[in-house]
Amino acid sequence: MHGGWFGLDPLGVETSRPFTRRSMNPSGQTAGYPPPTPTSAIIGTVAAALLAFLLLSVSGPAALPAEGQRMAAIFVVVLILWVTEALPVGMTSLLAVVLLPIFGVADLPTAFGTFVSPVFFFVLAMFIIAQAFISSGLDRRFSLWLLSKAGTESRRVVQVFMVGTCLISTIMSDVPATAIFMALAVGLFEKMRLTPGRSTFAKALMIGIPFAALIGGVATPAGSSINILGIFFIQEYGDVTVRFLDWMVIGVPMVVVLLPLSTKILLWFYPPEMDHVTAVGDVVTERSRLGAVSGREWRVLIILGTMIVLWVLSTWFESLDVVLISLLGAITMFLPGMRLFTWKEVERGIGWEALLMVGGVTALGAASVETGLAQWLVDGALGGLENWSALGVVALVSAFTVVIHLALPIGPVINSVLIPPLAILALSTGQNPALYALPVAFTASCAFLLPLDAVPLVTYTRGYYRMLDMFVPGAILSVCWVMVITVLMVWLGPMVGLL
């Protein structure tokens, strides 16, 4: 594969490293939180220990069992270490499992048994599939094809970047989808000689790319590990199966409504300072150099297409499990004659931190339910839901999930904290658990307020927008999200048996 477009490397991202909270940007620097300094790491560790000691020392609420109070201390330790990255994210995830038996909230076999779930293997499979998309060059071909449709009108360029990110994100994790189009955008900015922080065109584009990835990720269950984790928790604690097409009945209309809204909101707040982007003209030359679709690209397309068909058919055939299909698709890519990549290449591209975090989150979620902590939290924050109408329940739960992102900026953690107790609460009151829990599973991806989530962090650290630049348009889009999910859940949910 020849040199990259707009002066970037051929893949647009450095694929020898995993797409995690510190996803690699085209310059080889780390996108996401900068590496913690020794001082900040020590402060984070000490703060976690002190707060845990305080929680264990004081008398807890009467309604919270002693095991639940100890579980709260574990949650505090893990959340602080995750957010501050005082320890590597993967090591904190393992610490979460180790602390369960140490604090007496779960025995060792239970702790490790809940660590590995179907979600773990789904995330692993999707990392392999994302690597195939990138290694084959399909990411580059698709990106350049979309840009060739943009023309030179600046507003349309922003729209096309967001559409492309959204489409890829429907079947690929949000972080790599964001990284792919961020690489294109940065190359464009450098060619245009735009100064970070001074260009409204760059600001709209760099906020718009993660917005589009988060929106596209809810279209299908395969769009994000957050979705699969939410579906897993609803099945585990609410005994309700959310099938692939059931999810899409709500997810696809959400994308159709929210993506155009997000582009309009961003371009209203940050209108490009120029009418035309002449640098986009180089795309035609780059496309011509690609030539015809290669055999490797066709093989990846055929495997992906087959997986999508089987995912949809899993709605009617229980034996076609989504996780099973994903793993089979990933394994197929290694069959003799495929020649897509080597295991060493894939090994470097797997986000081991993300995998370990999924394991840690599922273990914490199970323990929080068993100890009564999750039920106590939901009773205190969302008590009395059984007296609300379906419309009110969906709106309240969705709005609460949006706001809690400021305290818990990690989607999987939000799912593990809220979904199990909400599903159990629904069962105890005779309600459909999907009514209470599905709004959380969808809205856990609504991370538009501040660039604290891993997805917006990918573009935020490039310096083209400030943290508060995202807040007002993000707040408006979040309100729109709550309204859309509420209407769609109440309107379409009964049609697929989710209400």
- 369-391 per-position pLDDT tens digit: 888 887 787 777 776 777 788 89
Between residues 152 and 222, which one has the greater pLDDT? 222
Per-residue confidence (pLDDT) for residue 444, from 0 to 100: 93
* DSSP letter, residue 23: E
Strand partners, 30: 24
Q: Which of helix, strand or coil describes residue 212?
A: helix
φ and ψ at 107, to 5 degrees?
A: -80, 170
Percent of the chain with pLDDT over 70: 91
Residue holding tokens 């323990």? 367
Among 221-235, 369-383, 415-429, the least confident range: 369-383
Checking if the pLDDT of 32 tops 60, the result is: no
Per-residue confidence (pLDDT) for residue 161, from 0 to 100: 92
Cα(257)–Cα(186) distance, rounded to whole angstroms? 28
Contact predicate 460/451, CB 8 Å: yes
Q: Is the dihedral of CA 322, 314, 437, 108 positive or negative?
A: negative
pLDDT digits (tens, 9 = 90+) for 257-302: 999 999 999 999 999 998 888 766 567 777 778 888 889 999 999 9
Which is nearest to 44 in space by CA: 14, 78, 4, 86? 86
Per-residue confidence (pLDDT) for residue 63, from 0 to 100: 80
Best mean pLDDT range from 39-43, 51-55, 60-64, 188-192: 51-55
Token couple for 204: 């709209």
Per-residue confidence (pLDDT) for residue 280, from 0 to 100: 62
Checking if the pLDDT of 127 tops 60, the result is: yes
Q: Read off the pTM.
A: 0.80
Cα(158)–Cα(102) distance, rounded to whole angstroms? 51
Among 192-201, 338-347, 379-388, 409-418, the least confident range: 379-388
- DSSP labels, 337-393: T--S--HHHHHHHS-HHHHHHHHHHHHHHHHHHHTTHHHHHHHHHHTTGGGS-HHHH
Can you tell me the mean pLDDT for 469-486? 95
pLDDT digits (tens, 9 = 90+) for 66-104: 898 999 899 889 888 887 778 888 898 899 999 999 999
Per-residue confidence (pLDDT) for residue 307, from 0 to 100: 92
Checking if the pLDDT of 1 tops 60, the result is: no
**Mean pLDDT, the chain, integer:** 84
Which is nearest to 480 in space by CA: 253, 262, 251, 249? 262
Per-residue confidence (pLDDT) for residue 8, from 0 to 100: 35
pLDDT digits (tens, 9 = 90+) for 428-458: 778 889 988 999 999 999 999 988 787 888 8
Cα(47)–Cα(50) distance, rounded to whole angstroms? 5
Checking if the pLDDT of 19 tops 80, the result is: no
